[in-house]
């Protein structure tokens, strides 16, 4: 929706007042490599895409937060930002208000309309985009001038403490700081980052959505975090110099005298081997070696599926079918348990290939996957 359309909805739902309406947009994201390592001190390589959450916001005199969602048609009015167990989506807004409040920044009451075209539960970070859009908007309309990095960290805390998903920093960070045409190599331990141009001439990235919806809260996401933490504690007893699991070696995971249980061994093997894949990926992206980039995507998927166990039958099926068709690389992205597969292939093949995969997918699962193409875009902004 454009400004005019959003403004019209806002005026209709909440009736006009004299306050200026402002508009903010936050993108979804993909991730090239570095999956499920952003809570283990790892390096991640995400990029923002041109799917977005857009909000129109203006202050009000109604002494209530009034929030309307175009996609669900729900209107929520509340005099406080208290947790709402009936309308879970509104907690992304309340969580952000709450985090600002903890820093002594009390938000004025406002009217807000939200619209988005980031598919939900598809591993493209629609919830982080919503949080970052709201956090950035509140900072701007109150003149608080939070930096983009601060906006990212505050939004992550909202998700961890208010929404209850113990996510890492990757999604909020890339959504807050992204640059058109670039992916960002973020060290999630130091929060230092660099931009890399996402260009492989003659090749293209695209997505196939399995349409299996995951919910990070209901899924085993929080369990994985616990397993990673306990694996790390066991390894650290023997290697006290380590500050994160990411710095350990795959052999540490397998070392029987360290006493990791089977699940911990597998999780630690994924996290530690991802370090090597990521290093390789950055080298090959820099030198434009698309074949190697693709190969690493397949290796990453294998590790996520077998060792980290965050894939599912449907996404495994899509990756296997694409491999059999000779694409350069493919892997599930994001939290997992469904959602999207990221694909790298020669330009110009995707439509024909997708039709084939779609037919086979339907035969097996009686549902239709969806094809998304995207451009690498900017982070959160006022528009
Ligand atoms: C979700 C989380 C991120 C990250 C990914 C997996 O998107 O929000 O913090 O852990 O899963 O890499």
Instruction: Identify the pLDDT of residue 3.
Output: 97
Instruction: Identify the pLDDT of residue 276.
Output: 98
Interval between CA 43 and ligand 1 midpoint (Å): 12
Q: Which atom of ligand 1 is nearest to the CA of 128?
A: 8
Provide the residue-wise pLDDT of the chain in tens; the chain has 383 residues.
999 999 999 999 998 898 999 999 999 999 999 999 999 999 999 999 999 999 999 999 999 999 999 999 999 999 999 999 999 999 999 999 999 999 999 999 999 999 999 999 899 999 999 999 999 999 999 999 999 999 999 999 999 999 988 999 999 999 999 999 999 999 999 999 999 998 899 999 999 999 998 766 566 888 999 999 999 999 999 999 999 999 999 999 999 999 999 999 999 999 999 999 999 999 999 999 999 999 999 999 999 999 999 999 999 999 999 999 999 999 999 999 999 999 999 999 999 999 999 999 999 999 999 999 999 999 999 99
Indicate whether residue 35 lines ligand 1 (CB < 6 A). Answer: yes
From atom 6 of ligand 1, which residue's Cα is the shortest distance away? Answer: 36
Indicate whether residue 335 lines ligand 1 (CB < 6 A). Answer: yes
What b/e string do you get for 153-177 counting C-beta neighbours within 10 Å, with b at 16 or more? bbbbbbbbebbebbbbbbbbbbbbb
Q: Which two tokens stand for residue 255?
A: 């070392």
Report the DSSP beta bridge partners of residue 49: 28, 376
Q: Give the residue, out of 168, 227, 305, 340, with the most ligand 1 atoms within 8 A of its beta carbon, to mutate for a pocket test.
A: 168
Strand pairing report for 329-332 and 43-44: unpaired
Q: Give the residue, out of 38, 159, 172, with the most ligand 1 atoms within 8 A of its beta carbon, to mutate for a pocket test.
A: 38
Strands lying side by side in the sheet with 75-78: 75-78, 65-69, 110-116, 46-59, 22-31, 381-382
Indicate whether residue 42 lines ligand 1 (CB < 6 A). Answer: no
Indicate whether residue 329 lines ligand 1 (CB < 6 A). Answer: no
Alpha helices in the chain (DSSP H): 3-14, 91-102, 126-141, 148-157, 170-177, 221-238, 250-254, 262-286, 290-302, 313-324, 350-365
Active-site positions read 171
Q: Which atom of ligand 1 is nearest to the CA of 44?
A: 12
Whole-number CA gyration radius for the chain = 21
Q: Which two tokens stand for residue 107?
A: 């938000």
Interval between CA 20 and ligand 1 midpoint (Å): 35
From atom 11 of ligand 1, which residue's Cα is the shortest distance away? Answer: 335
CB 241 within 8 A of CB 215: no
What b/e string do you get for 76-112 counting C-beta neighbours within 10 Å, with b at 16 or more? bebeebeeeeeeebbbbbbbbbbbbeeeeeebeebbb
Distance between CA atoms of residues 158 and 171, nearest Å: 13
Distance between CA atoms of residues 274 and 84, nearest Å: 38
* DSSP per-residue letters across 21-82: PEEEEEEEEEESS-TT-TTTT-EE-EEEEEEEEEEEEEE-SSSSEEEEETTT--EEEESS--
Indicate whether residue 28 lines ligand 1 (CB < 6 A). Answer: no
Indicate whether residue 334 lines ligand 1 (CB < 6 A). Answer: yes
Interval between CA 39 and ligand 1 midpoint (Å): 8
Per DSSP, the three-state class of 28 is strand
Interval between CA 170 and ligand 1 midpoint (Å): 6
Distance between CA atoms of residues 199 and 288, nearest Å: 7
Distance between CA atoms of residues 82 and 11, nearest Å: 25
Indicate whether residue 274 lines ligand 1 (CB < 6 A). Answer: no
From atom 1 of ligand 1, which residue's Cα is the shortest distance away? Answer: 335
Q: Which atom of ligand 1 is nearest to the CA of 127?
A: 8
CB 273 within 8 A of CB 250: yes
The size of the chain, in residues, is: 383
Q: Which atom of ligand 1 is nearest to the CA of 169?
A: 9
Q: Which two tokens stand for residue 191?
A: 């929060």
Indicate whether residue 38 lines ligand 1 (CB < 6 A). Answer: yes
Interval between CA 147 and ligand 1 midpoint (Å): 22
């Amino acid at each position: 929706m454009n400004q005019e359309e959003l403004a019209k909805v806002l005026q209709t739902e909440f009736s006009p007042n004299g306050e200026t309406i402002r508009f903010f947009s936050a993108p979804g994201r993909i991730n090239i490599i570095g999956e499920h390592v952003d809570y283990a001190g790892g390096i991640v390589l995400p990029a923002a895409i041109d799917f977005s959450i857009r909000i129109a916001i203006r202050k009000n005199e109604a002494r209530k937060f009034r929030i309307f969602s175009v996609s669900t048609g729900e209107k929520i009015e509340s005099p406080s930002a208290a947790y709402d167990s009936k309308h879970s989506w509104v907690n992304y807004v309340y969580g952000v208000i709450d985090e600002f409040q903890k820093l002594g920044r009390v938000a004025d009451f406002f009217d807000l309309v939200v619209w988005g075209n980031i598919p939900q539960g598809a591993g493209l970070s629609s919830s982080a985009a919503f949080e970052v859009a709201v956090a950035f908007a509140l900072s701007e309309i109150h003149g608080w001038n939070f930096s983009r990095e601060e906006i990212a960290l505050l939004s992550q805390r909202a998700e961890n403490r208010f929404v209850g998903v113990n996510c890492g920093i990757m999604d909020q960070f890339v959504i807050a700081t992204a640059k058109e045409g670039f992916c960002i190599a973020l060290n999630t331990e130091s929060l230092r980052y660099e931009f890399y141009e996402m260009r492989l001439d003659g090749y293209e990235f695209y997505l196939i959505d399995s349409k299996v919806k995951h919910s990070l809260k209901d899924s085993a996401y929080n369990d994985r975090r616990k397993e990673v933490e306990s694996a790390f504690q066991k390894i650290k007893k023997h290697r006290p110099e380590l500050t994160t699991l990411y710095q350990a070696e795959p052999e540490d995971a397998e070392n029987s005298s360290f006493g990791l249980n089977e699940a911990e061994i597998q999780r630690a093997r994924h996290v530690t081997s991802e370090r090597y894949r990521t290093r390789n990926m950055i080298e090959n992206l820099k030198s434009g070696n698309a074949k190697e980039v693709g190969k690493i995507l397949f290796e990453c998927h294998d590790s996520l599926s077998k060792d980290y166990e965050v894939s599912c039958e449907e996404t495994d099926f899509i990756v296997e079918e694409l491999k059999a068709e000779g694409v350069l690389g493919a892997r599930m992205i994001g939290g997992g348990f469904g959602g999207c597969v990221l694909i790298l292939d020669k330009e110009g093949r995707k439509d024909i290939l997708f039709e084939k995969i779609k037919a086979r997918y339907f035969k097996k699962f009686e549902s239709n996957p969806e094809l998304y193409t995207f451009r690498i875009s900017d982070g959160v902004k006022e528009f």
